[in-house]
Amino acid sequence: MTNTIIILLIIGLIAGFLSGLVGIGGGIIIVPVLVYLLKVDQKTAQGTTIFMFLLPIGLLSVFNYYKAGHINLKFALIMAITFFIGSFFGSKTAIAIDTKIIKQFFAIVMILIGIKMLWNK
């Protein structure tokens, strides 16, 4: 149990750092680590990560970006509202689908995004 807590602390620090640094962390870092390192099933990893976002984890990084003038409030509010709605339907769909299919879909999305980012300027 102590090793699990240490792993969770490290995951949180790394994901938080990457989130503040390049805007990633939740799905791309935390979900795979929970699945492969801590042997949590895909749906539980996704649900756990989403629960983590309920807390004001991004408050300090948002404050820094806001102070530096790097937040488009209009864009953020529009995306927050639609993210709220989309996450409801996405979670309902994920719960209804076989875990293996969700894991494969997650992997495909990560690969496609990675390829696009790698070859675009």
- Encode pLDDT of 61-112 as tens digits: 888 889 999 988 998 898 889 988 988 998 899 899 999 998 898 888 889 8
What domain range includes position 9? 2-119
The two structure tokens encoding residue 113: 């995004």
Asked whether the predicted pLDDT for residue 7 surpasses 80, the reply is yes
**Separation CA 59–CA 38 (nearest Å):** 27
Does the pTM surpass 0.85? The reply is no
HSE at residue 92, side-chain half, CA atoms within 13 A, is 6
- Count the residues in the chain: 121
Asked whether the predicted pLDDT for residue 22 surpasses 70, the reply is no
pLDDT at residue number 23:
67
| Long-range contact set of residues 48-53: C-beta below 8 Å, sequence gap at least 24 | 50/26, 50/87, 50/91, 52/26, 53/26
**Separation CA 73–CA 9 (nearest Å):** 31
The three-state secondary structure class of 87 is helix
Q: What's the distance, Cα to Cα, between the start and end of the chain in Å? A: 44
For the chain, how many structural domains are there in total? Answer: 1
The neighbour count for residue 30, using CB atoms within 10 Å, is 24
pLDDT digits (tens, 9 = 90+) for 34-60: 888 999 998 898 888 888 887 777 788
The two structure tokens encoding residue 110: 């990560």
